């Protein structure tokens, strides 16, 4: 018999119909005469209640219906008498597809998130992680829809690359060389000429540089792919492998770029509110009681826009007024998370877009302002998260870009193709990168980035 997904079954009203559901047992309770089995198949956070009259079934089979076991149930769809559910299934046949022993790691309720991480292969079957990963899927769909509806082309950039986009030296090297028998050149350096690509290669930290090639040909593109950073930051907001969305648009200046970022992120949050109601209601109840309020707030309010210099002034005034920070504040610092969150959560109580940062703390490709000190950078700062988006208007002048590259001593050998965009029909253009997991953190109210990607990669941790 054709199986019905629980998400569809719960909407049906053709009581009396014979139905088939398959899924995993969440709980089983009951008396000598009747058993109630809560079954979940992952299609929704909601369970369907299966009612089994004990006398109709083999007692040995019923014993196998334990938490975590996998069942196929046939029965009659009936209107539910119980509160909080519309339909239930009066079982006529139950097959145990997979038994589940008492060592099932998700058996006990109320485990810590750290325990869940150690059992990441099984945590997917819990309510919380089911909700998170259904929302994650919905956010991916929202992102593709937003850009498709706005005339952007989905553009795939390479994962293996020879250039360090952010210039931060945080790349994972890719090699097929035998590390026990490395060949060296005469001057003692490792000889890459016989390596797979004939040169040093790494996993990309960002698709932006190739994205700029796409934007200056197709007009407006976006990437959506995995990126890798070997930064040794053990924080609740950093992963070594994360997904990034990078739109890049020809003829956009920084203001157009900010408008795009704000509109895009609001669209994604609205999508979650419209399409993930059951999962959000669960997370709002169990994980973070202010979640729904925060999501509505972001959709309904304009983001504050101010310059880095103005931001520093506000922080300095706060310090003068007695506010304590762990890290010192003065013009030129790279803002710490505590500074960003002060501006967003305490001072403005709104998302903030900070612009025009000192050039020393930003990447080489950002457009230099007329003051010669700041660049046309823009970071979007969010409550609870801090930086969720980083972007800029790009330096379109070949001469100015070359000057920056020389100033920073960036190896030119592998950058010739990027510089060609500035030699052949250069144009003003802008773009940004949204950290996908940081968006999911915001939308789910989860506290740790390791809990919004199925199998997190962090320093000293690459299980599963
Ligand atoms: O600010 P970032 O480093 O900017 C870039 O990579 C640019 N090339 C983007 C562009 O202009 N096209 O990273 C962009 C975003 C950050 O704002 C943050 O949300 C996320 O990527 N991010 C991380 N997310 C998780 N773990 C990490 N280690 C991250 N590093 C950055
Ligand atoms: Mg950044």
The Å distance, Cα 229 to ligand 2 centre, comes to 12
| Ligand nearest the Cα atom of residue 238 | 1
The protein residue whose alpha carbon is closest to atom 26 in ligand 1 is 238
Ligand 2 centroid to residue 387 C-alpha, Å: 7
**Among 157, 169, 206, which residue has the most ligand 1 atoms within 8 Å of its CB, making it the best to mutate?**
206
Tell me what percent of the residues of the chain surpass a pLDDT of 90. Answer: 93
Cα–chain center distance at 42: 20
pLDDT in tens, the chain (464 residues): 899 999 999 999 999 999 999 999 999 998 899 999 999 999 999 999 999 999 999 999 999 999 999 999 999 999 988 777 789 999 999 999 999 999 999 988 889 999 999 999 999 999 999 999 999 999 999 999 999 999 999 999 999 999 888 888 899 999 999 999 999 999 999 999 999 999 999 999 999 999 999 999 999 999 999 999 998 888 999 999 999 999 999 999 999 999 999 999 999 999 999 999 999 999 999 999 999 999 999 999 999 999 999 999 999 999 999 999 999 999 999 999 999 999 999 999 999 999 999 999 999 999 999 999 999 999 999 999 999 999 999 999 999 999 999 999 888 788 899 999 999 999 999 999 999 999 999 999 999 999 999 999 999 999 99
- 146 CB near ligand 1 (under 6 Å): no
- Measuring CA to CA, which residue among 139, 73, 18, 85 is closest to residue 453? 139
d(Cα 377, Cα 373) in Å, to the nearest integer?
Answer: 12
pLDDT digits (tens, 9 = 90+) for 392-405: 999 999 999 999 99
pLDDT (tens digit, 9 = 90+) per residue, 66-97?
A: 999 999 999 999 998 877 778 999 999 999 99
Q: Whose CA is nearest to atom 17 of ligand 1?
A: 389
Is 359 in contact with 309 (CB distance < 8 Å)? Answer: no
- Distance in Å, CA 442 to ligand 2 centroid: 17
Q: How far is the CA of 240 from the centre of ligand 2 (A)?
A: 15
């Amino acid at each position: 018999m054709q199986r019905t997904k629980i998400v569809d079954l719960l909407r049906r009203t053709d009581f009396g119909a014979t139905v088939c559901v398959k899924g995993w047992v969440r709980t089983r309770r009951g008396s000598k005469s009747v058993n109630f089995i809560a079954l979940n198949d992952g299609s929704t956070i909601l369970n369907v209640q299966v009612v089994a009259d004990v006398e109709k079934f083999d007692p040995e089979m019923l014993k196998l219906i334990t938490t975590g076991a996998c069942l196929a149930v046939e029965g009659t769809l009936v209107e539910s008498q119980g509160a909080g559910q519309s339909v239930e299934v009066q079982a006529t046949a139950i097959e145990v597809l997979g038994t589940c022993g008492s060592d099932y790691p998700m058996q006990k309720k109320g485990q810590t998130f750290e325990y869940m991480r150690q059992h990441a292969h099984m945590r997917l079957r819990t309510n919380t992680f089911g909700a998170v990963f259904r929302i994650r899927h919905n956010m991916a769909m929202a992102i593709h829809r937003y850009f498709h509806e706005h005339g952007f082309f989905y553009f795939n950039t390479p994962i293996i690359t020879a250039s360090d986009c952010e210039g931060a030296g945080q790349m994972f090297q890719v090699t097929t060389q035998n590390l026990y028998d490395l060949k060296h050149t005469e001057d003692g350096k490792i000889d890459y000429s016989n390596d797979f690509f004939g040169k040093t290669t790494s996993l990309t930290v960002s698709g932006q540089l190739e994205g700029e090639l796409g934007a200056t040909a197709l007009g407006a593109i976006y990437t959506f792919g995995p990126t890798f950073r070997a930064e040794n930051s053990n924080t609740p907001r950093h992963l070594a492998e994360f997904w990034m969305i990078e739109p890049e648009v020809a003829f956009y200046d920084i203001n157009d770029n900010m408008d795009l970022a704000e509109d895009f992120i609001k669209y994604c949050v609205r999508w979650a509110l419209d399409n993930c109601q059951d999962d959000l209601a669960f997370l709002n109840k169990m994980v973070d009681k202010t979640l729904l309020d925060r999501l509505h707030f972001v959709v309904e309010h304009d983001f504050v826009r101010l310059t880095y210099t103005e931001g520093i002034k506000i922080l300095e005034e706060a310090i003068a007024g007695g506010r304590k920070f762990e890290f010192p504040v003065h013009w030129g610092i790279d803002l710490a998370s505590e500074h960003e969150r002060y501006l967003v959560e305490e001072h403005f109580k709104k998302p903030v877009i900070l612009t025009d940062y000192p050039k020393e703390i930003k990447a080489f490709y950002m457009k230099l302002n007329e003051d010669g000190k700041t660049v046309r950078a823009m970071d979007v700062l969010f409550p609870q998260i801090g930086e969720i988006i980083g972007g800029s208007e790009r330096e379109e002048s070949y001469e100015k870009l070359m000057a920056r590259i020389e100033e920073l001593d960036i190896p030119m050998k592998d950058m010739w193709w990027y510089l060609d965009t500035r030699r052949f029909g250069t144009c003003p253009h802008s773009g940004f990168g949204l950290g996908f997991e940081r968006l999911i953190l915001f939308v789910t109210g989860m506290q740790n980035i390791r809990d919004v990607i199925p199998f997190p990669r962090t320093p000293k941790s690459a299980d599963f």
